[in-house]
Amino acid sequence: MMSSPASDELFESSAPDSGPASIGEARGEAKGEAITAIKSVGPDDSRFAVKVGRRRVAVVSAQTLSELSLAIGQRWDERLADRVEQRAAYDKARRDATRRLDRRALSKRELAEKLTAAGHAESVVDQVLTDVSKIGLLDDEALGRAIIEITVDRRAAGPNLLRQKLATRGIDSSLIDRLLDRGEGAAAESLEAAVSLARAKLASMTRLDPQSRTRRLWGLLQRRGYDEHTTEAALRSLGDEAELVLDHD
């Protein structure tokens, strides 16, 4: 990480600051001039204001300051203005992404939609998504596993319901398939959970006739995301204790 410049390097101009200007606005006015000041604007020296003449032309990150080798006395021309503008746009989107991810875990699609809606350019958003993914701030697989775990812990849930919840959060369909496809062990766990749910509900259905009881339990398991095969297998496994009426009996 770049160390903070000494204070005499940060601010050399004695001219009053005429206020912030967009890089585009400053492009024409400051053409041919030189950078007169680079001053920290954050409490942790992570962001710096760049000043040309009396105008602040950009606010950039410490990383951008280092990567572009910005320095007092450097000529402010079209080429440099373009590079700073691109990096400033990236820095702004990156800060936005980090703030959002600090508040709540998001999928790649969710974050992309939020950043685009906030006005960040698509090309900038794509780069930010790539970079935050590399450092682990954006991880759809980890998010998907957490959604499954939380959903199952709160209430019995079958694969169909889990698939719906994952898709709603923007998880890619191929990743959903991988998260839910855990082989025979997962199928057995799903059937066991369905049986437990149905058995727990039986106590409140003692006054219902067998056909109504069957219909209610079938609907319950379907709403919780269990497929037809698992639903039927679960109800059949209850045997005589449930006194159910199944079509294939």
Q: Are 106 and 96 in contact (CB under 8 A)?
A: no
Q: Judge whether 113 lies within some domain.
A: yes
CATH code, 101: 1.10.10.10
State how far the alpha carbon of 39 is from the alpha carbons of 54, 62, 65, 130, in Å. Answer: 13, 11, 11, 29
Instruction: Quote the pLDDT of residue 202.
Output: 81
DSSP string, 156-225: ---HHHHHHHHHHTT--HHHHHHHH---HHHHHHHHHHHHHHHHHHHGGGTTS-HHHHHHHHHHHHHHTT
Query: Strand pairing partners for 11?
Result: 37
Instruction: Quote the pLDDT of residue 32.
Output: 67
Identify which has the larger pLDDT, 58 or 191.
58
% pLDDT > 90, the chain: 41
Q: How many domains does the chain have?
A: 3
Residues 209 and 239 in one domain: yes
Q: Judge whether 2 lies within some domain.
A: no
Identify which has the larger pLDDT, 45 or 13.
45
pTM: 0.66
Return mean pLDDT, the chain: 81
Chain position carrying tokens 């709160």: 154
Residues 229 and 192 in one domain: yes
Residues 76 and 129 in one domain: yes
Query: Residue 149 is part of which domain span?
Result: 139-181
Residues 167 and 234 in one domain: no
